[in-house]
Amino acid sequence: MTTRESARHLVVGNWKMHGHHAANEALLEALRTAGPLPCDVAVCPPLPYLAQAAERLARSAISWGSQDCSAHEQGAYTGEVSAGMLAEFGCRYVLVGHSERRALHHESDAVVADKAKAALARGVTPIVCVGETLEEREAGRTDDVVKRQLSAVIHALGHCAGEIVVAYEPVWAIGTGRTATTEQAQAVHALLRAQLQAATAHADGMKILYGGSVKPDNAAALFSQPDVDGGLVGGASLVARDFLAIAAAAAQA
């Protein structure tokens, strides 16, 4: 356990490849009109709906971001979107290294680090996702895996490493309904904090989010852990009532 002043929590919704224009209108309107929230909140819709989120959330306290970006500035990269383009749409955050991208699109630690670097260069905060598979956890390799994944980003960013957000997302907990225990989450978060402390003087103020089946009924316990600074929320972020309840749980942390 570390001793540090508790900062304002951050709760980020990852909509993944869900939604359509009408459903998004209702969800964004519910978030926009929810009133004061006890933490920072952001949503990451699919790219075609970025403009819709930007328009609906403008002048609200809620930020928006992307679920991915290219490691490249521009060029012949069909289908990709650069961090500069995201910045033009007012994106505050971009997820990099989500386990679905690492697994389904074979993104290496080096590619994830390049994406984080490209995002920071355009003033978009990368939310760097790290996490072990069930097989890796059962083999006792959790610490090695998450440290290796974060190390690649720290190494690539150098003195800018303090500007990222980190999300610990055990792969076995994503979309499965199976959540890490508060002890499991805190143990990995403390490890990541120590790794950041060795790399940057800003580590105590950095946000380390937990992701993996965060729901209204487990959010408060997770967020009350000393090194858990909020959550990255998938499924529950598609239901306004649940997502707002998770954000409200930050008040109890």
Shortest distance in whole angstroms from residue 197 CB to ligand PEP:
25
Q: Out of 107, 132, 169, 189, which one is annotated catalytic? A: 169
Residue nearest to ligand PEP (CB): 234
Two tokens, residue 100:
């679905």
Of the residues 9, 98, 132, 136, which is catalytic?
Answer: 98
Could you tell me if 149 and 188 are in contact, meaning their C-beta atoms sit under 8 angstroms apart? no
Q: How far is the CB of 216 from ligand PEP (least distance, A)?
A: 12
Please tell me the distance from the alpha carbon of residue 206 to that of residue 201, in angstroms, as a whole number: 10
B/e letters for 8-20, b = 16+ CB within 10 Å, e = fewer, are ebbbbbbbbeebe
Based on CB atoms, which residue is closest to ligand PEP, 125 or 200? Answer: 125
Distance CA 244, CA 108 (A): 34
**Minimum separation from the CB atom of position 22 to ligand PEP (A):** 22
- Binding residues for ligand PEP, per CB under 6 A? 14, 16, 169, 174-175, 211-214, 232-236
In angstroms, rounded to a whole number, what is the distance separating the alpha carbons of residues 137 and 201? 30
Which residue number, 16 or 56, has a Cβ lying nearer to ligand PEP? Answer: 16
Q: Is 72 an active-site residue?
A: no
107 is catalytic: no
Structure tokens, 17: 């490849």
Beta strand extents in the chain (DSSP E only):
10-14, 40-44, 63-66, 93-96, 125-130, 165-168, 208-211, 230-233
Nearer to ligand PEP, 165 or 199 (CB): 165
Q: Which is nearer to ligand PEP, 165 or 236 (CB)?
A: 236
Work out how close the CB of 66 gets to ligand PEP at its nearest, in angstroms, rounded to a whole number: 14
Catalytic positions, please?
Answer: 98, 169
